[in-house]
Amino acid sequence: MAAKRRSTLLSLLFICSSCISLLLFSALRTSTRTPISITDRWGEGVLCNYSDGAWLPDPTAGIPRYDGSSCKEIFKGWNCISAGKSNGRDLLRWRWKPASCDLPPFDPLQFLNRFRNTNIGFVGDSLNRNMFVSLVCTLKRVSKEVKKWRPVKADRGFTFLEYNLTVAYHRTNLLVRYGRWSASASGGPLESLGYKQGYRVDVDIPDGTWVDAPGFHDILIFNTGHWWWAPSKFDPVESPMLFFEQGMPLLPPLPPEHGLDRALRHMISYAEKKTGTSAINFFRTQSPRHFEGGDWDQGGSCRRMQPLLPEQVEELFSLENNGTNVEARLVNQHLFKALKHSSFHILDITHMSVYRADAHPSVAGGKKHEDCMHWCLPGITDSWNDLLVAHLNSM
């Protein structure tokens, strides 16, 4: 009886906490945001703006869609429940509620049936792998006849044999080709400016890992961003990004943000030319990081147990504050500009994700530093796929 009373008391406490959180999170709705519709990316004829909403506590949730024992594709550092993250299950007890509609978990069996004989490709950095793994694990729960293979230079991929549905991930950090560059003994335009080494980035040449993907896949989900603001990799002094176009260095040398603009323009155009007439291209917006107290290599951490409040979001992401995590908004500014006149559909996951400082692996990631960039699985990328499926269902 004592154990039963204790259980009842804990349930009541959670419900009370949830009610308080619900009142606080009602402030998350941001009616001044530009609407993004499932039918019109730029706000005309709006049916549902999935970006305008709030994370609501859902005590009845918390049952994972999959786990590490049933889906080995989950990277060990992302499997927060198995790794013992203290809120590994609690972070699932929140659901994203758009202001003017609902975003229910997608039905994996319906998805498999609808997308028979379809190839789906994720093209981008490890955050797109995060999303790819979420989708694969959700589908594996209802379909066990799965064959591993790596089509058109994919890093990994699976075919669900009964449905002839392939889901693949093509790893690429910048979307474009890049590699080490060293000064030539015979000199050149960059050498004359004093450059001795760095990274050559060809803004008009797609990375070989996905160059053939548009001709193979029926649905593509692209992303890039994190690596363009990565001083630990592209140190502006010791190993700067040196941009080339049509085989020649761009002079004067461009800063990374201008290089990103050129790369996006070329890669969007390339994908549009190479995909079939019935193909669907998405570009996913930037996944936010949540480092507090410094960047990843400066002791930054992310140990919150609940989603952020709006004022806390501004503290971490405001461009005016120039904080550790501003890259999310910086990248999106360039991304929206590049996509505005394209045929791409925008998959806006940024706004729903900025609040989820509680949903990263943190110390459970098993690294020397806290992982406040990737996401726990199961976790928030499941909601990204719910959003993807909602868009697909509307087409």
Chain segment 334-357, per-residue pLDDT in tens: 999 999 999 999 999 999 999 999
Residue type for position 287: S
CA-closest candidate to residue 234, choices 188, 283, 180, 175: 180
Do residues 315 and 361 make contact, with C-beta atoms less than 8 angstroms apart?
A: no
pLDDT at residue 80 is higher than 80: yes
DSSP conformational letter for 362: B
Q: How far apart are CA 223 and CA 110, in angstroms?
A: 26
Do residues 171 and 227 make contact, with C-beta atoms less than 8 angstroms apart?
A: no
Q: How far apart are CA 61 and CA 135, in angstroms?
A: 19
DSSP conformational letter for 104: P
Which pLDDT belongs to residue 322? 61
- For 373-394, what is each residue's pLDDT tens digit? 999 999 999 999 999 999 999 8
pLDDT band per the 50, 70, 90 thresholds, residue 25:
very low
Which pLDDT belongs to residue 316? 79
Which residue has better confidence, 79 or 7? 79
pLDDT at residue 33 is higher than 70: no
Average pLDDT of span 236-263: 96
- For 231-240, what is each residue's pLDDT tens digit? 778 988 899 9
pLDDT band per the 50, 70, 90 thresholds, residue 323:
low
Residue 312 has a CB neighbour count (10 Å cut-off) of: 15
Sign (positive or negative) of CA dihedral 159, 160, 166, 169: negative
Which pLDDT belongs to residue 174? 98
pLDDT at residue 359 is higher than 50: yes
Q: How far apart are CA 365 and CA 374, in angstroms?
A: 9
Q: How far apart are CA 130 and CA 110, in angstroms?
A: 22
In this structure, which long-range contacts are made by residues 68-75, counting pairs with CB atoms below 8 Å and at least 24 apart in sequence? 70/137, 70/140, 70/141, 71/133, 71/136, 71/137, 71/140, 71/141, 73/133, 73/136, 73/137, 73/140, 73/156, 73/158, 74/133, 74/137, 74/377, 75/129, 75/133, 75/377
